[in-house]
């Protein structure tokens, strides 16, 4: 009897140990792809038509995602970090190796509900000179326009109302609030979110440009609810898709003829991109 | 039997001692370690990239850089000694002219260079400034780049070799050049100090010159001191800075840098709307084969740009004013024009005369006197053979 008791005790003890402390891990690999109308992007091909009826082509796309998190079924979030232990990833259609995010990081094996990330940088993360090396440093956003970095450069051309092929730079980043005399009866006002920039304090703007009174951080969060599994000692392959045409139609129609070639100083144009942005992305299981 | 046993034992012991002695002798005859040159510490200026483009087989050393400086300036690099046939890197890359010929060059009229054969270079000379941070390809079309399938077209070392043999440059012979320098007093000793052998090879000559060129750093212009918070810009310079870095202004920054990219270049290649017909066999298209790259060339650094004329790959503009006028009013549309030239259908950024003056004032803040007069980059008073 005493022998049986001891054996049973060890049997239970070993079962408990196996059930509670043997956690298993796996990895994830994101493969980024850019699509237009569900087809893989063909750069420099004037073959697309957006929702506004603009025929257009895309030459290159360069963009940042930050604060990337895997969301487990129980709601726990696991942050995805790069080799510098920062959750910052630069993606560039001209740099094939940037189209895969595989950090070798271990995540608990199990069921996941989806992925979240910040498109661009939140205010705290968007600090000038955080990148000194190219290609990330080439994404700097001019200090007078708010500093930090472009969230995205999407460059291409469209056929304008005159039938001419005209370049467009659909660039998203920090927006500006400009001094508007009509709104203030000539009095200077502050939007309450102004980030003063001492270097430019003595600046007198050119005639076409009223003074900048404040900045608007245009980043947004993307939540992609798509279940996936991370298997023990396995790499779970995920596809992160950018549906380019959605930048121009998901919620509001964006018309190149209305906004012209450059929008870094047109907050109203960038605002359309921000409203459409959360619907631009899709997560799929990898092949 | 006992004797025999002892005899065999003695033989074995002797053989063992012989082996041990031999093995010791093998260690002793190992060649002494070669001269170990002193690593050259390249200081990274404020906000500059930390990644340097230095090939693994040619690290910067104090001795290599010193030797490279002599060779860079020694006119006998052409392989000739007659005063009329001397030519070196410094014949075209003149320090006080931003390591370019300059439009007022006494021999190369208007800054257009020709080699010892009399043949003119295909493109105008690019400056030798901050090249240690260029990883996107050297030359106007970037035909020398790190992972080029052709191992002879990758690095500054390869450009040095080409410069010595090309008819439109030194038009020399590398065997003759190395033999000449082997015969010059003082040089073999410097090669030993730099590379561990006093037998001069042309490969080591190119390595030394490349090392020197990688130390040519411009990072103390007025704009640098402003960005470091040490000096204020004038009102006109500030206005120019804003114009330089805004899309509704002069919109220079996407290709030529600014606060976040103090190299004042991306080192990338753009068709900036100079032409509508593209027939240059050495444009970017020649390197990539992509028809959209026809008429595209490197965006050069704007550091010390006021000294860098004539401007553009073919030197079509003699002055900065002409360049600013071009970007304001004369940009031409083509299928290949880069999307960043979004003002193209209006002919350019349409700067007013006062805005042009402001942009020019700002660009002048990229003038770095310290770089242009740095004694470490200057012509040595004497060469190793006291010549």
For residue range B100-143, list pLDDT tens digits in order.
999 999 999 999 999 999 999 999 999 999 999 999 999 999 99
Total Cβ atoms within 10 A of residue A131: 20
What is the 3-state composition of chain B as percent helix, strand, coil, each rounded to the nearest 5? 40, 5, 55
Q: Could you give the residue range(s) of every CATH 1.10.760.10 domain in chain B?
A: 62-216, 222-367
Per DSSP, A250 falls in state S
Residue A1 falls inside a structural domain: no
In the CATH hierarchy, which top-level class contains the domain B62-216? mainly alpha
Rg (alpha carbons) of chain B, rounded to whole number: 27
For each of chain A's 287 residues, which pLDDT tens digit applies?
455 554 444 444 444 444 444 689 999 999 999 999 999 999 999 999 999 999 999 999 999 999 999 999 999 999 999 988 999 999 999 999 999 999 999 999 999 999 999 999 999 999 999 999 999 999 999 999 999 999 999 999 999 999 999 999 999 999 998 876 665 444 333 322 233 333 333 444 445 567 788 999 999 999 999 999 999 999 999 999 999 999 999 999 999 999 999 999 999 999 999 999 999 999 999 87
Tokens at B227, concatenated: 């960005």
Domain count, chain A: 1
CATH number of B222-367: 1.10.760.10
Domain that holds residue A117: 30-174+217-285
Q: Using CB atoms, pick whichever of B258, B340, B358 lies closest to residue A140.
A: B258
> Under a CB-based contact definition with an 8 Å cutoff, are residues A152 and A64 in contact?
yes
B22 CB-contact burial (10 Å; exposed 0-12 / middle 13-18 / buried 19+): exposed
CB neighbour burial string for A57-92, b if at least 16 within 10 angstroms, e if fewer: bbbebbbbbbbbbbbbeeeeebebeeeeeebbbbbb
Helix (H) or strand (E) segment spanning residue B27 = helix B2-28
Assign B337 to helix, strand or coil: coil
Interface contacts A/B by beta carbons within 8 Å: 120
Residue A103 falls inside a structural domain: yes
Q: Using CB atoms, pick whichever of A133, A140, A164 lies closest to residue B259.
A: A140
> Which of A132, A176, A154, A139 minimizes the C-alpha distance to A56?
A154
3-state secondary structure B183-195: CCCCHHHHHHHHH
Q: Which residue of B has its CA nearest to A44?
A: B292
Give the distance from residue A99's alpha carbon to the nearest chain B alpha carbon, in angstroms: 19
Residue A12 falls inside a structural domain: no
Residue A72 falls inside a structural domain: yes
Asked if the C-beta of B51 comes within 8 angstroms of chain A's C-beta atoms, the answer is yes
ipTM of the complex: 0.88
Asked if the model's pLDDT at residue B66 lies above 70, the reply is yes
B308 CB-contact burial (10 Å; exposed 0-12 / middle 13-18 / buried 19+): buried
Q: At what angle do helices B235-244 and B353-364 cross, to 10 degrees?
A: 100
Give the distance from residue B132's alpha carbon to the nearest chain A alpha carbon, in angstroms: 13
> Under a CB-based contact definition with an 8 Å cutoff, are residues A151 and A63 in contact?
yes
Residue A116 falls inside a structural domain: yes
Q: Using CB atoms, pick whichever of A142, A164, A265 lies closest to residue B253.
A: A142
pLDDT value of position B276: 98
> Under a CB-based contact definition with an 8 Å cutoff, are residues A238 and A228 in contact?
yes
Distance CA B152, CA B214 (A): 18
Q: Which residue of B has its CA nearest to A158?
A: B339
Helix (H) or strand (E) segment spanning residue A175 = strand A175-178
Q: Provide, as residue numbers in chain A, all residues whose Cβ is less than 8 Å from the Cβ of B339.
A: 59-60, 155-157, 167-169
> Under a CB-based contact definition with an 8 Å cutoff, are residues A52 and A253 in contact?
yes
> Under a CB-based contact definition with an 8 Å cutoff, are residues B215 and B40 in contact?
yes
Residue A19 falls inside a structural domain: no
Residue A48 falls inside a structural domain: yes
Tokens at A72, concatenated: 């487990």
Q: Which residue of A has its CA nearest to B338?
A: A167
Residue A153 falls inside a structural domain: yes
pLDDT value of position B34: 65
């Amino acid at each position: 009897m005493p022998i049986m008791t001891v054996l049973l005790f060890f049997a239970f003890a070993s079962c408990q140990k196996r059930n509670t402390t043997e956690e298993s891990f796996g990895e994830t690999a994101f493969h980024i792809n850019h699509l237009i109308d569900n087809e893989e992007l063909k750069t420099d091909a004037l073959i697309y038509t957006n929702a506004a009826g603009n025929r257009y082509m895309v030459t290159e796309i360069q963009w940042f995602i930050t604060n990337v998190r895997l969301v487990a079924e129980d709601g726990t979030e696991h942050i995805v970090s790069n080799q510098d232990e920062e959750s910052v990833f630069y993606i560039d259609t001209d740099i094939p190796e940037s189209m895969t995010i595989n950090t070798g990081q271990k995540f608990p094996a199990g069921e996941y509900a989806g992925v979240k990330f910040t498109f661009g940088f939140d205010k705290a993360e968007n600090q000038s000179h955080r990148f000194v090396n190219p290609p990330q440093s080439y994404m700097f956003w001019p200090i007078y326009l708010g500093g930090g970095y472009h969230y995205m450069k999407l460059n291409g051309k469209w056929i304008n109302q005159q039938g001419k092929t005209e370049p467009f730079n659909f660039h998203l980043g920090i927006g500006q609030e400009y001094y508007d005399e009509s709104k203030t009866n000539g009095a200077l006002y502050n939007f309450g979110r102004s980030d003063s920039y001492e270097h430019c304090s003595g600046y007198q703007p050119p005639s076409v440009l009223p003074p900048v009174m404040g900045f608007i951080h245009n980043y947004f969060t993307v939540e992609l609810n798509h279940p996936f599994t991370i298997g023990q000692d396995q790499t779970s392959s995920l596809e992160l898709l950018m549906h380019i045409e959605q930048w121009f139609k998901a919620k509001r129609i964006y018309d190149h003829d209305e906004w012209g070639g450059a929008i870094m100083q047109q907050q109203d144009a960038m605002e359309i991109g921000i409203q459409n942005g959360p619907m631009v992305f899709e997560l799929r299981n990898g092949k | 039997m006992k004797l025999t046993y002892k005899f065999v034992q003695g033989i074995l012991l002797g053989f063992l001692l012989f082996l041990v002695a031999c093995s010791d002798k093998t260690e002793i005859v190992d060649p002494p370690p070669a001269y170990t040159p002193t690593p050259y510490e390249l200081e990274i200026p404020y906000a500059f990239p930390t990644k340097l483009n230095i090939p693994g087989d040619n690290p910067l050393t104090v001795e290599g850089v010193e030797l490279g400086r002599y060779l860079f300036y020694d006119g006998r690099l052409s392989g000739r000694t007659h005063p009329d046939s001397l030519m070196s890197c410094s014949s075209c890359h003149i320090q006080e002219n931003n390591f370019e010929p300059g439009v007022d060059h006494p021999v190369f009229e208007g800054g257009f260079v020709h080699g010892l054969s009399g043949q003119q270079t295909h493109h105008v000379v690019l400056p030798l400034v901050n090249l240690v941070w260029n990883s996107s390809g050297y030359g106007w079309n970037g035909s020398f780049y790190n992972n080029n399938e052709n191992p002879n077209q990758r690095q500054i070392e390869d450009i040095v070799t080409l410069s010595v043999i090309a008819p439109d440059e030194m038009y020399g012979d590398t065997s003759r050049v190395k033999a000449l320098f082997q015969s010059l007093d003082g040089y073999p000793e410097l090669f030993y100090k730099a590379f561990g052998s006093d037998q001069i090879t042309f490969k080591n000559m190119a390595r030394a010159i490349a090392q020197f060129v990688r130390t040519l750093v411009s990072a103390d212009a007025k704009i640098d001191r402003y960005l470091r918070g040490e000096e204020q810009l004038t009102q006109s310079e500030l206005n120019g800075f804003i114009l330089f870095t805004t899309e509704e202004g002069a919109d220079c920054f996407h290709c030529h840098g600014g606060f976040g990219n103090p190299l004042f270049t991306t080192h990338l290649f753009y068709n900036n709307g100079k032409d509508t017909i593209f027939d240059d066999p050495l444009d970017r298209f020649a390197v990539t084969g992509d028809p959209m790259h026809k008429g595209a060339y490197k965006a050069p650094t704007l550091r010390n740009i006021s000294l860098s004329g004539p401007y553009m790959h073919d030197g079509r503009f003699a002055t900065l004013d002409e360049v600013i006028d071009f970007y304001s009013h004369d940009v031409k549309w083509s299928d290949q024009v880069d999307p960043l030239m979004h003002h193209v259908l209006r002919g350019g950024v349409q700067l007013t005369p006062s805005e042009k003056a402001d942009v020019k004032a700002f660009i002048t803040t990229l003038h770095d006197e310290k770089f242009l007069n740095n004694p470490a980059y200057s012509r040595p008073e004497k060469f190793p053979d006291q010549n």
